[in-house]
Amino acid sequence: MSSLKNLEIFLEKTEADYMLLQQCDKFTRQHYLQSQLARYTGFTGSAGEAVLGLGGKIFLFVDPRYHIQADCEAKNGVDVIKLEMSQSFSDALKELVGAGATLLVSEEHTTVSVAAKLKKYFNVKPQRYTDITENKNTGEVFDLPFELCGEESASKTEKVQRYIKQQKADGYLVSNLEDIAYLMNKRGFDIPYSSVFKAKIYIDKDGVHNYPCPVGKKVIINPQNTSVYDFETLDKPVEIKENFIAQMAGVKNDAEIAHLKECFSNMDNALEGFRKRIKAGLSEAELKEIIEEEIFVHGACELSFKTILAIGENSSSIHYCASSAEKTLKEGDLILLDCGSFCKGGLATDITRTFVCGTPDKEQKEVYTRVLQAFLRAYNSKAVSGFELDETARNFLKEKAPEGFNFPHALGHGVGVNVHQSPPCISPADKEKKKLVKGNVFTIEPGLYCEGKFGVRLENTVYINEEGKKISFSKFPFEQTLIDFELLNEDEKLWIKTWLRN
């Protein structure tokens, strides 16, 4: 199929009411800018859902991170449904169309867990449909040397085999590409903004095998990463609540921590080079080109996500990625830069800084300082869970944020083979009350945003050391000219003073 009209015809023929338009998925790592959702709604964000109804009506659902971006990018005729921070897509869709509607979903690109949530309210009809050409592995898939991965693939596989035995199952179907890359100690830079490669594997007591799975076996699947199609091919699927392999990958060993230190040192150097080249008159597109040039000059093999570079009022859009050639930098403008890369070890980096061209005004300094205080309080807190860390920053910003500015996203996320890889997650969700452990790697990224004015976000990726302390990989300094030191207490002044490059 090659057009929206063809999808409408297919929808009508299958006697469904709505069709789920496909976003980036966990199986192919198809880049979201090539997805059906982006093609037919115009929205280029990395998270969101859309449904097509009879007659060609499209509804786009986005969470608070993308409200402004969706308003700017959505094509004429697309209705943008703005979700609250804790509101689910399935609940919002039920409110819009009512329970009982027949919803067409792609059996190859819809996960078991998503289908289960939708089945609570709708008649879900899995079908094979797509009009997106998926990436194939055309580049090199290479083995990681031991000094970068720190554990042999065979050792990781043995842990999975013990888990299979504990679950009284026969095998484990692994379709999540980050899990496969981690287990196999292999990487590839063929797919944009990733270090993974297309594959599915089946693990049993005899080792690792190619997909498909044998018949008649009890096979463990992770419902959040297994397609409806794969699930239906299994005779005895065993659903697990937590991704055991992701739990393994979420604890980085000494070799991985050492490699990430090197990677973030490279990113610090790239940011330093970028800062020196900031000047009035440059456009967002030119500034984006400068930072990406610096990133690759300083050792990157691939970007870990699409660079976010926003000037002035565009910085109030949390995941802004348009980088206009027309929007130029003026004296007094803020620049919000969120960027990351993969180096040779295929682990992601992620850092955000807010810069100013020239001299900032009082409001810019106040907002920047409040965000910096929230970051420092979370970073230096004794909080032992992602929930508590988020609460520390969120409670502070609720009290101190200037009028009109808000903090509408989670405080952070795990980082690994994918730039967003859980566990852990640093958010107000109850499930994040688990204690953070040695080797966990995650971001701390508070922000304040006001539509029509500007936004400020500051982000460092950190790890938990042997003493349970948070240690930042990046040593890149904060912007002295944007800090209102009169708003800081003595502890905060000391924390900033000791935030030195070393």
Report pLDDT digits (tens) over 356-397.
999 999 999 999 999 999 999 999 999 999 999 999 999 999
Q: Which pLDDT tens digit goes with each residue over 236-293?
A: 999 999 999 999 999 999 999 999 999 999 999 999 999 999 999 999 999 999 999 9
Instruction: Tell me the mean pLDDT in the region 322-346.
Output: 95
pLDDT over 70 percentage in the chain = 95
* Mean of all residue pLDDT scores within the chain: 93
CA 22 to chain centre: 17
Residue 143 in 3-state DSSP? strand
H or E element at residue 60: strand 58-62
- The answer to whether residue 29 scores a pLDDT higher than 50 is no
- The answer to whether residue 49 scores a pLDDT higher than 70 is yes
Instruction: Tell me the mean pLDDT in the region 309-314.
Output: 96
**227, 269, 312, 462 from 127: Cα distances, Å:** 12, 49, 45, 42
- The answer to whether residue 31 scores a pLDDT higher than 70 is no
Q: Which pLDDT tens digit goes with each residue over 157-201?
A: 999 999 999 999 999 999 999 999 999 999 999 888 999 998 999
Residues paired with 80 in a beta bridge:
60
Q: Are strands 236-239 and 218-221 parallel, antiparallel or unpaired?
A: parallel
- The answer to whether residue 131 scores a pLDDT higher than 70 is no
- The answer to whether residue 27 scores a pLDDT higher than 70 is no
66-101 burial string, b = 16+ CB within 10 Å, else e?
bbbbbeebbeeebebbbbeeeeebbebbbeebeeeb
Query: Which DSSP symbol is given to 74?
Result: P
Q: What is the pLDDT of residue 44?
A: 83
Q: Where in the chain is the domain with CATH 3.40.350.10?
A: 4-127, 141-242
What band does 501 get if pLDDT is binned at 50, 70 and 90? very low
Q: What is the pLDDT of residue 78?
A: 96
CATH level 2 (architecture), domain 141-242 = 3-Layer(aba) Sandwich (3.40)
What band does 502 get if pLDDT is binned at 50, 70 and 90? very low
- The answer to whether residue 207 scores a pLDDT higher than 80 is yes
pTM of the model: 0.94
CATH fold of 4-127 reads: Creatine Amidinohydrolase; Chain A, domain 1 (3.40.350)
Query: Which DSSP symbol is given to 313?
Result: G
Q: Which pLDDT tens digit goes with each residue over 440-459?
A: 999 999 999 999 999 999 99
Closest CA to 124 of 147, 108, 101: 101
Identify whether the C-beta of residue 270 lies closer than 8 Å to the C-beta of residue 294. yes
**37, 229, 319 from 46: Cα distances, Å:** 10, 24, 8
- The answer to whether residue 18 scores a pLDDT higher than 50 is yes
Closest CA to 80 of 72, 89, 88, 71: 71
The full length of the chain comes to: 502
Q: Where in the chain is the domain with CATH 3.90.230.10?
A: 254-497
Q: What is the pLDDT of residue 500?
A: 55
CATH level 2 (architecture), domain 254-497 = Alpha-Beta Complex (3.90)
Q: Which pLDDT tens digit goes with each residue over 215-227?
A: 999 999 999 989 9
- The token pair at 215 is 């018949």
Question: Is residue 484 classed exposed, middle or buried when 0-12, 13-18 and 19+ CB atoms within 10 A define those classes?
Answer: middle
